[in-house]
Amino acid sequence: MVNFSLDGKVALVTGGAYGIGLAIAQALAEAGAKIVFNCSRQETVDRGLKAYKDLGIEAKGYLCDVTDEAAVKAMIADIEATIGTVDILVNNAGIIKRIPMEEMAVDDFRKVIDIDLVGPFICAKAVIPGMIKKGHGKIINICSMMSELGRETVSAYASAKGGLKMLTRNICSEYGEHNIQCNAIGPGYIATEQTAPLRELQPDGSRHPFDSFIISKTPAARWGVPEDLMGPAVFLASDASNFVNGHILYVDGGILAYIGKQPK
């Protein structure tokens, strides 16, 4: 019998107030998990708490910057004391800065790397001891197609997500013997607040050029939605994936498999 149940599990979703993080947390909650999330600003934490309440989900929110190791350690200690050992970590918190490389300040590059790559390292490092002690754990890193592909203006983001792909594989390699599975989800282009500027209609009512580009490059002929990530997240968080480790599951509508249409 395949077991997708998460009953009694404690799931921490970083940056889980909205968008992809909220959708994944909702899926984990519907499978039975207790939800904890964090954000780096109090107004975002409050927004997340309202979103979960509206969904009928009891969730605990923390004000915590994933790049602050002391703050992350304190958060994990509080979760363990008040709710239980973190069984599932979803490293979702991240940012993107779309700036041509020659125009990008080094500080901006470092900020993206710090949040998108160093943050997952800090959070995973903090939960792994509890997982080892418990004898089981699931870590899900939110990668990207930019873990595999490059594109103009996303040098920092692609560097961070490529690094996160390899961190995923290294956690698998280092801690698989402790029955810890570390995998990743690589979303394609998902319709969220973050990508909204790329989908805005032009003054003449036509599609944004990038929107048209993505549709033409995706066999599914559409942008993904956060709900498309719910099933994969439950799979990777559950016992159904106990022998899946170090894997990057791309949820991209087929874009990575597709060379594109031949020009007419």
- Which residues are the active-site residues? 157
**3-state DSSP helix/strand/coil % of the chain, to nearest 5:** 50, 15, 35
Identify the burial level of 3 via C-beta atoms within 10 angstroms of its C-beta, where 0-12 means exposed, 13-18 middle and 19 or more buried: exposed
Q: Alpha-carbon distance 178 to 181, whole Å? A: 9
Task: Give Cβ neighbours of residue 15 (< 8 Å, ≥ 6 apart).
Answer: 21, 37, 38, 39, 66, 92, 93, 94
Q: How many helices, marked H, and strands, marked E, lie in the chain?
A: 8, 7
3-state secondary structure of 33: coil
Distance CA(27)–CA(174), nearest Å, equals: 28
* Burial call 70-105: b when 16+ CB within 10 Å, e when fewer: ebbeebbeebeeeeebbbbbbbbbbbbeebeeeebe
